[in-house]
């Protein structure tokens, strides 16, 4: 169960995020060694590039490599192939006070029956979370329940054919089913953010869902990507709309995951790049968003989805400065399974609310997700990646 008492107002010194003993306490020596080998391999750009390609080919040819993938990279970054399998991961995280956000990570299927299947799966995650403190949120991706091109078309505005209008009605009904179920189960639901060109439709619908279901507390959360230069302004404007209409504003703050794609499309189509000019600008707006939210917590709830240590510590510091208990129920820190355990476990040990995205799905279907994680952890030749560095530090500590 995640700590959520709001009675205590004690503040603690900032947690030490470099404490690898706490970060890896749940990992045996053998598990640590396996994680080291994995990060060594995926840290090599050549191996990762060739390996990703070979894995795709092998799976497409139905060669029996699922077992190998499952025992290695899948084990590091995924909870299991099904909700039931992932519950074991949830229990393991819960033993360290960390919550699980079951993330059905099957991508790229957009026929109507696949979209309906995704809704059924998200409803099952809500059912699994109901009454279970160790699963404090559910999540879905807009493109899991609506076709990308549909979202793009609606976002662009303009005339809709009757067929498009009918398809849009079906997509809206899917979102309503999920949000209604989340409300009925009293399990907050996060709406992930994807590409900027589909976000207007997502924002409009998510705010409509908030207006309906967030009267007493935040059940529906939108995601704000601060790598976009216009999103701090959006955060303020959307919050003002929530205040005017009298509902709680739920928001997950992230930097954003589609930078190259955004820049390439803007250049190809000749419109202004929606992304910040540099990393420092993304960092500045992310931290400003944290500050803004903390100043307006009376009618807001936030999830800080980040692997950035400075931003995580800033949020912890701001909470302390405002006299908030570390376990304030309106604030949750969040990282992905298998990454930044130093942040998750040390914050949790210091009494903060932490929940990890736990991706799950059949090995073959979560492969795009795994390849993204591998690429993200690939470092320039000769450099030790951050995750690998932490693992090595812990192995050295244990060897003493």
Ligand X SMILES: Cc1cc2nc3c(=O)[nH]c(=O)nc-3n(C[C@H](O)[C@H](O)[C@H](O)COP(=O)(O)OP(=O)(O)OC[C@H]3O[C@@H](n4cnc5c(N)ncnc54)[C@H](O)[C@@H]3O)c2cc1C
Q: Does 17 bind ligand X (CB under 6 A)?
A: no
CA 369 to chain CA mean position, Å: 12
Q: How many CB atoms lie within 10 A of CB 67?
A: 10
Nearest approach in angstroms of CB 341 to ligand X is: 12
Q: Given the rule CB under 6 A, which of 6-14, 33-41, 67-75, 277-285 is the region that contacts ligand X?
A: 277-285
Tokens of 130: 């109901």
Figure out which of the listed residues 48, 89, 199, 223 binds ligand X, where binding follows CB under 6 A: 223
- Exposed/middle/buried for residue 235 (C-beta within 10 Å: 0-12, 13-18, 19+): buried
222 binds ligand X (CB under 6 A): no
Per CB under 6 A, 164 contacts ligand X: no
* CA angle (202 as vertex; 140, 330 as ends), nearest 5: 60
Nearer to ligand X, 258 or 360 (CB): 258
Q: How far is the CB of 257 from ligand X (least distance, A)?
A: 4
Judged by beta carbon, residue 216 or residue 279, the one nearer ligand X is: 279
* Shortest spacing between CB 208 and ligand X, in angstroms: 19
With respect to ligand X, which residue has the nearer C-beta, 66 or 231? Answer: 231
Q: Tokens for 364, please give them.
A: 């073959």
Q: Please, which residue, 43 or 256, has the CB nearer to ligand X? A: 256
Binding pattern to ligand X, positions 227-246, x when CB under 6 A?
x-------------------
Write the DSSP string, 134-200: T--EEEE-HHHHS-HHHHHHHHH-S---HHHHHHHHHHHHHHHHHHHHHHHHT--EEE----GGGHH
Under rule CB under 6 A, residue 266 binds ligand X: no
In angstroms, the CA 153 to CA 164 distance is 9
The whole-angstrom separation of Cα 33 and Cα 182 is 39
The H-or-E segment that residue 359 falls in is: strand 354-360
Q: Is the Cβ of residue 66 or residue 334 nearer to ligand X in the bound state?
A: 334
Candidate residues 257, 266, 297, 393; the one interacting with ligand X per rule CB under 6 A? 257
- Judge whether 142 and 202 are in contact, CB under 8 Å: yes
Cβ neighbours for 62, distance < 8 A, ≥ 6 positions apart: none
Which residue of 78, 135, 171, 254 would you call a contact of ligand X, by CB under 6 A? 254
In the shown chain, the binding pattern of residues 299 to 338 toward ligand X, with x for contact by CB under 6 A and - for none, equals: ------xxxx-------------------------xxx--
Q: Between 153 and 276, name the residue whose CB sits nearer to ligand X.
A: 276
Point out which span in 78-86, 163-171, 255-263, 358-366 binds ligand X (CB under 6 A).
255-263
Measured from the CB of residue 286, what is the shortest distance to ligand X in angstroms? 6
**Only segment of 60-68, 129-137, 204-212, 275-283 that touches ligand X (CB under 6 A):** 275-283
Q: Pinpoint the alpha helices (H) of 186-329.
A: 199-213, 231-245, 259-269, 279-295, 309-321
For ligand X, which residue of 69, 126, 193, 314 counts as binding (CB under 6 A)?
Answer: 193
Question: Of all residues in this chain, which one has the CB nearest to ligand X in the complex?
Answer: 305
Q: In angstroms, what CA-CA distances link 39 with 60, 68, 76, 370, 388? A: 25, 16, 10, 13, 6
Pick from 256, 274, 325, 338 the residue near ligand X by CB under 6 A: 256
Task: Determine if 259 is a binding residue for ligand X (CB under 6 A).
Answer: yes
CB closer to ligand X out of 52 and 223: 223
C-alpha 367, offset from chain centre? 17
Binding mask 339-358 for ligand X (x = CB under 6 A): ------------------x-
Tokens linked to 296: 């307006």
Question: Rounded to whole angstroms, what are the CA distances from 196 to 159, 201, 255, 282?
Answer: 20, 10, 13, 15
**Interface residue list for ligand X (CB under 6 A):** 192-193, 223, 225, 227, 254-259, 275-276, 278-279, 282, 305-308, 334-336, 357
């Amino acid at each position: 169960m995640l700590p959520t008492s709001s009675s205590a107002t004690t503040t603690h010194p900032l947690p030490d995020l470099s404490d690898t003993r706490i970060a890896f306490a749940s990992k045996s020596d053998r598990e640590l060694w396996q994680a080291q080998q994995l990060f060594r391999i995926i840290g090599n750009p050549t191996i990762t590039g060739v390996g990703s390609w070979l894995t795709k080919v092998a799976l497409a040819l139905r060669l029996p490599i699922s077992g190998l993938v499952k025992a290695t990279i899948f084990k590091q970054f995924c909870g299991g192939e099904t909700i039931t399998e992932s519950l074991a991961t949830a229990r393991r995280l819960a033993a360290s006070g960390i919550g699980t956000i079951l993330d059905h990570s099957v991508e790229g299927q957009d026929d109507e029956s696949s979209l309906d299947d995704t809704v059924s799966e998200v409803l099952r995650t809500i059912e699994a979370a109901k009454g279970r403190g160790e699963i404090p949120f559910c999540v879905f991706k807009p493109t899991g329940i609506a076709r990308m091109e549909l979202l793009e078309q609606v976002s662009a505005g303009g005339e809709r054919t009757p067929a498009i209008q009918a398809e849009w009605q079906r997509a809206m009904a899917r979102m309503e089913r999920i949000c209604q179920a989340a409300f009925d189960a009293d399990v907050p639901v996060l709406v992930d953010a994807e590409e900027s060109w589909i976000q207007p439709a997502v924002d409009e619908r998510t705010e409509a869902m908030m207006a309906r279901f967030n009267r007493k507390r935040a059940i529906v959360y939108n995601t704000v990507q601060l790598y976009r230069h216009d999103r701090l302004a959006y955060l303020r404007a959307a919050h003002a709309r929530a205040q005017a209409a009298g509902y709680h504003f739920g928001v997950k703050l992230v930097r954003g995951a589609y930078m190259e794609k955004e820049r390439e499309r803007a250049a190809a189509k000749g419109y202004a790049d929606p992304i910040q000019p540099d990393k420092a600008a993304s960092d500045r707006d992310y931290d400003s968003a944290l500050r803004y939210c903390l100043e307006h917590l009376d009618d807001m709830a936030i999830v800080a989805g980040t692997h950035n240590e400075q931003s995580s510590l800033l949020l912890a510091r701001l909470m302390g400065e405002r006299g908030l208990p570390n376990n304030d129920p309106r604030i949750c820190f969040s990282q992905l399974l298998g990454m930044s355990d130093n942040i998750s476990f040390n914050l949790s040990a210091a009494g903060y609310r932490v929940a990890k995205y736990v991706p799950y799905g059949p090995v073959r279907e979560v492969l795009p997700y795994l390849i993204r994680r591998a690429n993200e952890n690939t470092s320039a030749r000769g450099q030790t990646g951050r995750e690998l560095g932490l693992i090595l530090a812990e192995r050295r500590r244990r060897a003493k």
